[in-house]
């Protein structure tokens, strides 16, 4: 599944309308939105904080619903922040994916969780 530009633009426009209808744009500075984004991401983490890796992958319906709402909050703040900074989020994500593909070539990164700076190069062999 891919996220189309239309989907992100629709979400961006709905968020923009939502904020403008409430006169909240004045509060939606990049600093405030970034701080809100981090706060919401922390709320996602709270759901997993003391779970085993296995339990974290097998949430019950209530926990799964709660996590879905927190993830939605993260997405909404992210889209709103990108809007306020005039960043094409889809283009930025595709660009970053291409950068990561170069940083983590399959032949060196396969099955490894190392940061790209620790994968070595062909010259290291």
pLDDT given for residue 8 in this prediction: 92
How far apart are the C-alpha atoms of 2 and 70, rounded to whole Å?
Answer: 21
Q: What are the pLDDT tens digits along the chain (125 aa)?
A: 455 668 999 999 999 999 999 999 999 999 999 999 999 999 999 999 999 999 999 999 999 999 999 999 999 999 999 999 999 999 999 999 999 999 999 998 999 898 888 888 655 54
Q: Mind listing the domains of the chain with CATH numbers?
A: 5-108 (1.10.287.1080)
Q: CA angle 92-98-100, nearest 5°? A: 100
pLDDT of residue 37: 98
Give 67: exposed, middle or buried? Use CB within 10 Å, 0-12, 13-18, 19+.
middle
pLDDT of residue 53: 97
Provide the pLDDT for residue 120: 80
Distance CA 39, CA 19 (A): 19
Write down the pTM of the prediction. 0.85
Rounded distance between C-alpha atoms, residue 8 and residue 19, angstroms: 16
């Amino acid at each position: 599944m891919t996220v189309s530009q239309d989907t992100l633009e629709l979400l961006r426009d709905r968020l923009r309308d939502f904020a403008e209808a409430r006169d909240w744009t004045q509060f939606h500075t990049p600093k405030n939105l970034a701080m809100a984004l981090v706060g919401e991401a922390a709320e996602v983490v709270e759901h997993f904080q003391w779970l085993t890796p296995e339990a974290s992958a097998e949430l019950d319906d209530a926990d799964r619903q709660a996590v879905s709402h927190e993830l939605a909050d993260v997405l909404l703040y992210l889209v709103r922040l990108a809007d306020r900074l005039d960043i094409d989020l889809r283009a930025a994500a595709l660009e970053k994916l291409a950068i990561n593909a170069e940083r983590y070539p399959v032949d060196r990164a396969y099955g490894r969780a190392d940061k790209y700076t620790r994968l070595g190069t062909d010259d290291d062999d």
